[in-house]
A = this chain, B = another copy of it.
């Protein structure tokens, strides 16, 4: 049995690490900090990709593909961006291996195959893309240019965790170019709203939309919009960001266009991305001590059917019924698996599908055949009911929608319960210690105060939220004026 998962209460971090591996989502690889995404995990990622890709295309974006490598001389052009990523860059310096004269049958880097210019493995693609956009943009007629890329990126992280922080990860990165500031700001906002809607209505993860503080924003951005989620241990997780880049990259890469007035002007830019990190958010939002809990939208298998039988004759009769049920479900577009393996017992299968987070499990035994019934188990509630076979597909179709909605409601109730106001630093520290979650507090707007609070508590400003009360007040740390409350939290 694969069971015996550490409980969340016992050790949340250990629970997560074990679950990701035991549920076959991902595992560590031979390369420090790089993960292998296993087929079951990748199937869930594919569902996220397909939905996002559809939404990007519906909003007028096109996919393209840009090189993995960034020549150092391009990488360093936008100085803030370069400075922000320089410390975590994997660098290619050579282009050939040769036989190692000292170790027969082994290889070494060929010292004569040194590159004239080092290549940075992209940590993000602004540099290489803006260098390309320079050739694509001449006039206002070429704008807006709205491009997305699905790609792998590399950031040399010192402490890594599966999905949450890995040296290599998969993501999509959008890069757009606009004739006006207004249009670029609107694009950054549109995408942040798209991410929020995707998180809430597809992943069932409630998020708070807002702006990052100066210290937390993307290196090279004028403003960073973000969506922030709350995990079950009271720590926040940044689930997506959308950046208004101003004219920073256009100036660094000299990208101008002829306006409809005939003037030469710099282009306005945005970039935005979500990554395989969302897989971590998905696990930590919904799952429990028994294993994964998957929202039906994300489940590679939505319904599993397990036969309960003592002999081949029984199995044959049950299979006939099970296959009919499976067909009726498939005709409604529901993803079903009928597990008729004789190599594993029902109890083993139940535990396995519980661990894997299959939303609904149908069990059929000889008595069910007599009664025209099935046993239906809900993974999220760990509940069981007996249902009639007749019309089961309609019941399940509705139930899957309910589960999707209820998982969101449950996560939202938890999240809402974990937004607490603090009006003094003492109160702030107490809440952080006792309950965690988002703490809504006044802040004087300076990076200095933000830094001190971080040093003392490890909590950072997750965002300056768009919604919520906007009344002014006094900074809980310095007592200076504050325009509105911001959300602090310890974060992944």
Hey, which bits of chain A sit against chain B, CB under 8 A? 27, 29-31, 34-39, 42-43, 45-46, 62-72, 74-76, 79, 82, 86-99, 105-109, 118-121, 128, 131-132, 135, 141, 147, 151-152, 154, 156, 168, 170, 343
Q: Could you tell me if B31 and A70 are in contact, using CB atoms closer than 8 angstroms? A: yes
Q: Taking CB as reference atom, which chain B residue is nearest A61?
A: B39
Q: Could you tell me if A96 and B156 are in contact, using CB atoms closer than 8 angstroms? A: yes
Q: Could you tell me if A119 and B107 are in contact, using CB atoms closer than 8 angstroms? A: no
Q: Could you tell me if B43 and A63 are in contact, using CB atoms closer than 8 angstroms? A: yes
Q: Could you tell me if B64 and A39 are in contact, using CB atoms closer than 8 angstroms? A: yes
The complex is assembled from copies of this chain, and their number is 2
Most buried by B among A90, A91, A135: A91
Q: Could you tell me if B38 and A106 are in contact, using CB atoms closer than 8 angstroms? A: no
* Residue from B38, B71, B343 in contact with A30 in the complex, judged by beta carbons closer than 8 Å: B71
Q: Could you tell me if B36 and A76 are in contact, using CB atoms closer than 8 angstroms? A: no
Alpha-carbon gap, A152 to B82, bound state (A): 24
Q: Which residues of B contact A86 (CB under 8 A)?
A: 96-99, 107
How many whole Å from A73's CB to the nearest CB in chain B? Answer: 8
List the 3 shortest-distance A-B pairs measured between CB atoms, nearest first.
Answer: A39-B62, A34-B67, A37-B65
Q: Which residues of B contact A43 (CB under 8 A)?
A: 62-63
Alpha-carbon gap, A343 to B141, bound state (A): 9
Q: Taking CB as reference atom, which chain B residue is nearest A341?
A: B141
Alpha-carbon gap, A152 to B27, bound state (A): 21
Q: Could you tell me if A96 and B87 are in contact, using CB atoms closer than 8 angstroms? A: yes
Q: Which residues of B contact A68 (CB under 8 A)?
A: 34, 121, 152, 154, 168
Q: Which residues of B contact A67 (CB under 8 A)?
A: 29-31, 34-36, 168
Q: Could you tell me if A109 and B98 are in contact, using CB atoms closer than 8 angstroms? A: no
Q: Which residues of B contact A119 (CB under 8 A)?
A: 31, 90
How many whole Å from A223's CB to the nearest CB in chain B? Answer: 24
How many whole Å from A69's CB to the nearest CB in chain B? Answer: 5
Alpha-carbon gap, A105 to B88, bound state (A): 18
* Additional pairs, 12, CB under 8 Å, beyond known A68-B168, A96-B156: A30-B71, A30-B128, A31-B69, A42-B63, A43-B63, A46-B63, A69-B90, A89-B96, A91-B95, A91-B109, A109-B118, A151-B152
* Residue from B45, B87, B92, B108 in contact with A121 in the complex, judged by beta carbons closer than 8 Å: B92
Alpha-carbon gap, A147 to B30, bound state (A): 18
Alpha-carbon gap, A36 to B125, bound state (A): 12
Q: Could you tell me if B71 and A107 are in contact, using CB atoms closer than 8 angstroms? A: no
How many whole Å from A59's CB to the nearest CB in chain B? Answer: 15
Q: Taking CB as reference atom, which chain B residue is nearest A149?
A: B42
